[in-house]
Amino acid sequence: MKYITLLCSMGMSTSLLVNKMKDAAKQSGEEVTIKAMAKDSFASYDGQTDVILLGPQIRHMYDDLKNKYEAQNIKVAVIDNMDYGMMNGKKVLEFALNL
């Protein structure tokens, strides 16, 4: 089981993408738990995560999050603009799993 957490400003637009990613995971039979969250809530989130994906609109936070979480073995990455815009759940899921 892999845990993926998507962050954006309010957790609104990422939650749209999360639904698409869940659909994609169901189709390919991947065992994943995917969540969307507002960036500010993540600091106090104590659930599990293996991958943090940032919406491109908050990519200015990438360096800080990377420094903070890579030491804990959590992968941090920014979602591709186009995949984000087209809400391409399949590609973003593959991207997250191949990190």
- Picking from 57, 44, 53, the residue whose alpha carbon sits closest to that of residue 93 is 53
**Per CB under 8 A, 81 contacts other proteins:** yes
Instruction: Tell me the closest approach of the beta carbon of residue 26 to other proteins, in angstroms.
Output: 19
- The question of whether 8 is a catalytic residue gets the answer yes
Cβ pair 90, 24 in contact under 8 A: yes
Site for other proteins in 13-72 (CB under 8 A): 13, 16, 40, 43-44, 55-61, 63-64
CB nearer to other proteins: give 3 or 62.
62
Place of tokens 């293996």: 50
- The catalytic residues are 8
